[in-house]
Amino acid sequence: MPELPEVETVRRGLLPVMEGRRILAATVNRPDLRWPLPERLAGRIAGRRVERLRRRSKYILADLEGEETLLLHLGMSGRMLVSGGQLGDFHHVVPAAQKHDHIVLEMEGNVRVTFNDARRFGMVDLVATGVAGAHRLLAGLGPEPLGNGFDEAYLASRLKGRAPVKAALLDQRIVAGLGNIYVSEALFRAGIAPTRTAGSLNGAEVARLVPAIRIVLEEAIAAGGSSLRDYRQADGGLGYFQHSFRVYDRAGQPCPACGTPVARLVQQGRSSFWCPACQG
């Protein structure tokens, strides 16, 4: 579910209730998500202050005092939900536990942060802060698409081979943070068919693709992400970038540029949406 814009939106929502605040208590309701959770996780994070809340690709990193970092990935259906707080008096209703509430953090400030993940493709680990970047899940990630390390020269150097450009952009080693929605949207904006071979793109096409990726991600962040099914912001609210989709999930509907029906195809087992007329 969550791609870079959704994860960044969640991070921003968690910032005021987590950064600088202490985790007073933690509850862990099952031993594993996608993988086994760290041993004694609840006890190891309880009582510690969150010094920084960062994002790398689709991961959220909570640097805890004592040089350990809580590493979170939301998978397809993960949510980080904030409850309590503002009401602040003894009348305020503690929300009932929901199905799939796997980890609950009681934060300083009378706020609860709950990690809920129906499909359990999410991941959580606890690592030494100094070597977090070398964690097996982070070590191979490519550059942040909104950062300085992502430009035309870099992307051109990595778009090689016969795999479809769709697959290349989904490859987190090439660029970190894109997912199924934003790859389709970026390729539409760049006028490149998802079926094109990565190595077949010419310089002009790569030069269009870089800003197309950047702009669509920035617009999606500004819209609070895209809510199709599971995704919610930290406050439970919906993102609204789904209303700005030009091709994703719009099979059969007219291309916003030329009116040709948007096509859907399956690549690597995943849907791609595109305009056969605009994207060459």
Partner DNA sequence: ATGTGTTCCTGTCCGC
Partner DNA sequence: TGCGGACAGGAACACA
Q: Is 3 a catalytic residue?
A: yes
Q: Is 2 a catalytic residue?
A: yes
Residue selected from 104, 124, 167, 206 as contacting DNA according to rule CB under 7 A: 167
Residue selected from 39, 94, 96, 99 as contacting DNA according to rule CB under 7 A: 99
CB atoms within 10 A of CB 240: 14
> Binding to DNA (CB under 7 A): which residues in 9-48?
34
What gap in Å lies between CA 267 and CA 229, rounded to an integer? 22
Residue selected from 1, 209, 221, 247 as contacting DNA according to rule CB under 7 A: 1
- State which residue, 84 or 194, has the beta carbon closest to DNA: 194
Q: Is 34 a catalytic residue?
A: no
Nearest Cα residue to 178 out of 158, 201, 203: 158
Give the shortest CB-206-to-DNA separation in angstroms.
Answer: 16
Give the shortest CB-86-to-DNA separation in angstroms.
Answer: 25
125 binds DNA (CB under 7 A): no
Query: Could you give the string, one character per residue 189-228, with x where binding to DNA holds by CB under 7 A and - elsewhere?
Result: ---------xx-------------------------xxxx
Residue selected from 12, 22, 55, 100 as contacting DNA according to rule CB under 7 A: 100
Q: Is 95 a catalytic residue?
A: no
Query: Per residue in 20-42, is it b (16+ CB within 10 Å) or e — as a string?
Result: ebbbbebbbeeeebeeebbeebb
Stretch that binds DNA, among 2-10, 108-116, 185-193, 209-217 (CB under 7 A): 2-10
* Catalytic annotation, pick one of 56, 58, 166, 208: 58
Give the shortest CB-67-to-DNA separation in angstroms.
Answer: 24
* Positions marked catalytic: 2-3, 58, 270
Which residues are at the interface with DNA (CB under 7 A)?
1-3, 6, 34, 57-58, 73, 75-77, 99-100, 118-121, 137, 140, 160-164, 167, 172, 179-181, 198-199, 225-231, 268-271
